[in-house]
Each structure stands twice: as C-alpha cells, then as structure tokens.
C-alpha cells in the first residue's frame, strides 16, 4: 500500500506541474474515510490558489486526468475539497501477490547495523507481590519490546528491582516480630505473597503504635516519626548499609523468596528480561558523575554542603542530587544507572515504562544527563502511562487492598472456563486441552483489554467485559483466528487460479487492502510506542474478515478458482492475526 501511495504521489506531482505549473505544491494523499467510497483521498485545498477553480472543479480536473495517466486509478469521486480515488483491481491483485510471497508479512528482519534499543519496565519492590498496576506496566513493556523488534530493531529488555530501603525493612521487621520462622514451604504461599503479608502486618502495627502514642499525649506527626517500630526499621536500614551479617542474611533470604514468586508470575504472563539491575547495587552509582558535574559548573553546593542543580531556566525548579551528608537521592542513582547501561550495552536509546506520576522526575533526569554532556541523552524517553483502576476504585498496597496479579490471572482463567461452557465451545476438548484453552483465552482477554487502551489514558479494568467473545476483545480476535484455521484445515486439493478468470468483490478487495496495512501499523506503533495501534488494527481486520465471511462462501464458492483465491485470502488474514496477536503477547489458538 505504501508503494502504491508513493507511485501515485509521483504521478500526481507530474500532473500538477502540467496542469498548473511548477509551484512545488504539497500533496496530501491519505486513506479514504470509511463513510466515503474510495481507497485513497487527495486533499484538494492546497491547489485552489493556482487552479483558480472551485474545490469540486479542481478535483474533477485532476481526477479525470489521473484516469488517463495512471494505470492505478480506475474511478474517482469528489466530495467538497477531497478527491477520492478507487484503485484498479490490478493494483489490488498485485498487492495480494506480494503479500503471499512475503514470509512473515509485515515483520521486518532484524537489521544488524542498527544499534539496539533498551526498554526498562516492571521494576517491582521486593516487599510485595505484583498487582494489577504491575500487569499494565509489564504488558506495555513487553508488547512495546515485541513491536520494536517487529519493526527491525534489536531490543534489550531490563528491569531494576527495588530491593533496598525502608519499605523492604518494614517487611523484614514484621517477619522477625510476628513470623515465627514461617517460610513459603511451611505456609504454602508464594514467596512474594508471604513477604507482602508481613508488609501489611507492619502497617497495621505501625498504625496501632501511632494511635497508642497519640492517646499518651503525643502529636500525630511526631508519633509517626518516633514510635518504636519505625525507629527499629530505620536502624535496620542503617545496619544493612553497614553490612550487618544478621540483617544481610535476613534480607537475602526474604528477597530470594520474592524473586522465586516473581518468576512464577512473569512466566505466566510470558515476560522475560535480558538483564536485571538491582537497586542494592546501583544506589552507589552516580556520585562520581555529580562530583565531576560540580567541578564543571553543572551543579552547585549550598552552604549546608548539599548539591543541587538549578533548572529554572528550563521552566522547572531546583533539584537536590546529593544530601548534605553526601548520600545519594533517587535522582543520583538514576543518573548513574543510565550511564552504566550505555556502558553495558551497545544501545542508542533507552525507554522507561513508568506511570505518569513520575513525569517530572524523568524530565529532570533527561535534562541533567544532557547538561552532563551525554549525546545519547536526547534518545531517552519516558513512556508515561495512566494508572489502571477497578470499577470499585483505586488500590492501596500498604492496606492490602490491591488486586494481586496471580489472583487476577486465576480469575480470568475461571471466567474463560465459565464462558466456554456456556457457549459450548469446549465440548470437543478433553480436560487437559480445555484447561490450556482457558489459560490462552483468559490471558488473551486480560492482555488485549489493557493493551487496546492508549497508554497515556487512565483506564478501568473490567474482567467481565474483557472476556466477551463478541466486540473489541481478545477472545473475539482469537475466535476469528480459530474459525479461519478450521476453514484452512477443511480445504481440499488446491487449484491454481489466474486473476483474469474472475473479478474481485468489494469485500475481497477491502480485505486485501486491510491486510496490506499491517506493516505501516507496526511502524506507527513502534514510532509512537503505542500497542493500542496494533490492537485497533487487528480489531478492524477481524471485523473485515467476519463481514466478508458473512457474505461470501469460501469452500463452497461459485467456482473452484474463486474458492482457491478466497482460501488464500483467509490464510493471509490468519497469518496477520497470528503475527499481530503475538506482538501483543497473545496466543492465537487454532481450535476453539
């Protein structure tokens, strides 16, 4: 489709010179809107000044001459200032032949000459299990990685695990206080769930001590800072930083439990990383770069010995990068970690998949790295996504009011099982096959429902809406793929056909054009770091196929030649659905 557009632009350019002279006119050739007849639309308004005619007359003049000059245009119509062009069947059939000849149509081969792109996502804390918010983060990071790979670039997928700090020590303190030696094996809990249980227990104990302190006459704000449990947690962090053997052993043991739990969740979601960075290792990075920047005038030191940067000229404010005692802040280690990553890998870009509450932080980070003189700083980007809520509202980790990722996947599999039974779609499957299908459908419903929403938008996740076999859902796309696979499996002997033996119907040519748009949608999704572009395209393709299938028989077509062509058309739709769903991390079943 892109080649056709470029070819037509060239013809139109020459035509405009002949009609109106060499004015270097801008040619805006775009897809025709659904409510109008045509395949491509030329915007006429830029030509009115030189044509000295009405929009309708200008469009008619260009259209009638295009019919004489171009072998690619068979008809046209003018609607106000827009010239809608209908392509010839030869263009469509040539396009389809190219699609059939191309292995993995739409997916570009890896270009070894291009530097890799790095994408950071997930980045969990080791004091609690992954929840619904993490699922949106992981699905965005994973699908963006797949999309960028499909566009022809290698991708390095990384996460930074927040495995140190006061919040980690809170779980450790509570386990020591209330745990009585409990382990994942003794409790039957996944390791991350067990540690998360003690994070919630700490919060309950903390609130109890605060209330008790307030009843004894202390102000609430003072009580928050002075109750015994918070003092002991802060001491535990200092002991960890000083290398206290007992604290380090407890920290290592509990983090090991969490990593084991995380891996099981990642495996269920199909998430993989090329490298894990750990905050316990990266928190010391960045200090050297701050000192060098201080010497070069990028930063300045305040009288209390703390180090800052003034970004007021850029419309921001002052930002601390070293505390008065010389210790790091989060910005310091993020500066050092970014620099380290460009040392670790041959990359030319780094994208952070992080919620929009961190917009300001990344604006500051990117500006600082640019002022430090790193040329790659301009290739840093923040995929700022909106939070995900439930119909019941926000989630609160400290109170245990979260939707656990594992529980949600269980719920989605259960919903898929219920729906399959109600619709009678699992009758031909044995128990083992049914359970595999329920996982495929449940996870497909979850992933698609989240990824079909533009990342920048806040969203509400509704499990019931996501599992529907009709409408804009994952199961609808999966079912369409399975329906086509069933047709392909029923085919008889293949018949060779020539294009001059029959004419394409409107539904057939429309489906070919839809298939042909797959590559440009991949490139657009990669450029915009936006999986919802792929999701929207796949939904349109599935709707296009089902509309075609309602009007045209495939296996019992009018002739064997037409049947052979339509079967090929079905195969290419299935191939693109399979590739597109895979880009979103969703399996496309062949039976349902």
pLDDT reported for residue 289:
95
pLDDT reported for residue 491:
74
pLDDT reported for residue 413:
92
Q: Is residue 98 part of a domain?
A: no
Q: What is 409-438 written as a DSSP string?
A: HHHHHHHHHHHHHHHTTTTTS-HHHHHHHH
pLDDT reported for residue 592:
80
Q: Which residue, 160, 162, 161, 147, is CA-closest to 117?
A: 147
- 21-39: average pLDDT: 90
Burial class for 120, CB neighbours closer than 10 Å (0-12, 13-18, 19+): buried
Question: 132-150 and 531-551 are packed helices; what angle lies between their axes, rounded to 10 degrees?
Answer: 80
Quickly state the pLDDT bin for 246 (edges 50, 70, 90).
very high
pLDDT reported for residue 395:
41
Quickly state the pLDDT bin for 351 (edges 50, 70, 90).
very high
pLDDT reported for residue 400:
45
pLDDT reported for residue 266:
97
Q: Is residue 23 part of a domain?
A: yes
Q: Per the structure, how many domains does the chain have?
A: 1
pLDDT reported for residue 231:
97
pLDDT reported for residue 251:
98
- 425-429: average pLDDT: 70
Q: Is residue 508 part of a domain?
A: no
- pLDDT tens column, 367-381: 999 999 999 999 999
- 225-233: average pLDDT: 96
6, pLDDT greater than 90: no
pLDDT reported for residue 367:
97
* Rounded Cα distance, 335 and 331, in Å: 6
Q: Is residue 11 part of a domain?
A: yes
- 483-511: average pLDDT: 87
- 211-216: average pLDDT: 95
Q: Is residue 68 part of a domain?
A: yes
pLDDT reported for residue 156:
98
* Rounded Cα distance, 284 and 329, in Å: 10
Report the phi/psi class of residue 398: left, alpha or beta, with left for phi > 0 and alpha for psi in -120 to 50: alpha
Residues in CB range of 297: below 8 A, 6 or more apart: none
Tokens of 239: 């002991």
Distances (CA, A) of 22 to 15, 18, 66, 405: 10, 8, 18, 62
Q: Is residue 122 part of a domain?
A: no
Helix (H, G, I), strand (E, B) or coil at 115: coil
- Rounded to an integer, what is the distance from CA 150 to the centroid of its chain? 13
397, pLDDT greater than 80: no
Q: Is residue 40 part of a domain?
A: yes
pLDDT reported for residue 398:
43
| Residue 60: CATH number of its domain | 3.30.1360.70
394, pLDDT greater than 60: no
pLDDT reported for residue 399:
45
Quickly state the pLDDT bin for 272 (edges 50, 70, 90).
very high
Above pLDDT 90, what percent of the chain?
A: 82
Q: Where in the sequence is the domain holding 50, given as residue range(s)? A: 2-87
* Rounded Cα distance, 64 and 70, in Å: 10
- 460-479: average pLDDT: 89
pLDDT reported for residue 392:
65
Q: Which residue, 297, 384, 385, 372, is CA-closest to 342?
A: 372
Instruction: With beta carbons less than 8 A apart as the criterion, state whether 489 and 550 touch.
Output: no
Q: What is the mean pLDDT of the chain?
A: 93
- 17-22: average pLDDT: 91
- pLDDT tens column, 281-317: 999 899 999 999 999 999 999 999 999 999 999 999 9
Q: Is residue 498 part of a domain?
A: no
């Amino acid at each position: 489709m892109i080649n056709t557009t470029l070819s037509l632009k060239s013809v139109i350019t020459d035509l405009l010179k002949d009609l109106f002279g060499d004015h270097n006119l801008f040619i805006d050739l775009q897809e025709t809107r659904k409510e109008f007849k045509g395949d491509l639309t030329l915007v006429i308004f830029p030509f009115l000044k030189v044509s000295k005619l009405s929009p309708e007359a200008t469009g008619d003049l260009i259209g009638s001459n295009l019919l004489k000059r171009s072998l690619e245009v068979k008809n046209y119509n003018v609607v106000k200032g827009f010239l809608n062009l209908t392509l010839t069947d030869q263009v469509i059939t040539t396009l389809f032949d190219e699609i059939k000849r191309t292995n993995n149509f739409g997916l570009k081969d890896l270009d070894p000459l291009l530097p890799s792109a790095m994408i950071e996502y997930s980045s969990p804390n080791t004091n609690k299990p992954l929840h619904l918010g993490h699922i949106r983060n992981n699905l965005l990071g994973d699908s963006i990685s797949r999309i960028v790979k499909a566009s022809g670039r290698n991708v390095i997928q990384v996460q930074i695990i927040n495995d140190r700090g006061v919040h980690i020590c809170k779980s450790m303190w509570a386990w020591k206080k209330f745990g009585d030696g409990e382990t994942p094996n003794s409790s039957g809990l996944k390791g991350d769930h067990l540690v998360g249980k003690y994070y919630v227990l700490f919060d309950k104990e903390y609130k109890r001590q605060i209330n008790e302190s307030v009843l004894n006459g202390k102000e609430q704000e003072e009580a928050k800072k002075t109750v015994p449990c918070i003092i002991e947690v802060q001491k535990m962090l200092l002991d960890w930083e000083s290398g206290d053997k007992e604290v380090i052993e407890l920290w290592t043991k509990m983090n090991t439990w969490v990593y084991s739990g995380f891996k099981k969740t990642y495996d269920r979601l199909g998430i993989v990383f090329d490298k894990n960075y750990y905050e316990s290792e990266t928190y010391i990075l960045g200090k050297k770069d701050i000192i060098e920047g201080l010497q070069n005038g990028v930063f300045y030191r305040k009288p209390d010995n703390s180090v800052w940067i003034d970004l007021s000229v850029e419309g921001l404010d002052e930002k601390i990068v070293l505390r008065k005692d010389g210790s790091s802040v989060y910005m310091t280690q993020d500066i050092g970690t970014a620099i380290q990553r460009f040392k670790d890998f041959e990359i030319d870009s780094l994208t952070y998949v992080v919620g929009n509450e961190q917009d300001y932080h990344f604006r500051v980070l990117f500006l600082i790295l640019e002022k430090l003189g790193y040329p790659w700083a301009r290739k840093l980007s923040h995929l700022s996504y909106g939070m995900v809520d439930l119909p019941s509202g926000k989630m609160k980790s400290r109170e245990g009011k979260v939707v656990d990722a594992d529980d949600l996947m269980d719920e989605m599999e259960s919903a898929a099982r219920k729906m399959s039974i109600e619709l009678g779609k699992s009758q031909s499957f044995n128990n083992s096959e049914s359970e595999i299908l329920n996982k495929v459908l449940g996870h497909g419903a979850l992933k698609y429902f989240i990824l079909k929403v533009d990342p920048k938008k806040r969203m509400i996740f509704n499990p019931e809406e996501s599992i529907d076999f009709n409408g804009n859902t994952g199961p609808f796309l999966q079912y369409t793929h399975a329906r086509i696979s069933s047709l392909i499996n029923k085919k008889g002997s293949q018949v060779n056909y020539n294009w001059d033996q029959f004419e394409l119907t409107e539904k057939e040519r429309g489906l070919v054009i839809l298939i042909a748009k797959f590559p440009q949608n991949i490139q657009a999704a990669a450029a915009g770091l936006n999986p919802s572009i792929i999701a929207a395209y796949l939904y349109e393709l599935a709707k296009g196929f089902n509309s075609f299938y309602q009007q045209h028989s495939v296996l019992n077509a009018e002739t064997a030649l037409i049947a052979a062509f339509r079967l090929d058309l079905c195969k290419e739709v299935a191939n693109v659905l399979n590739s597109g769903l895979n880009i979103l991390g969703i399996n496309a079943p062949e039976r349902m």
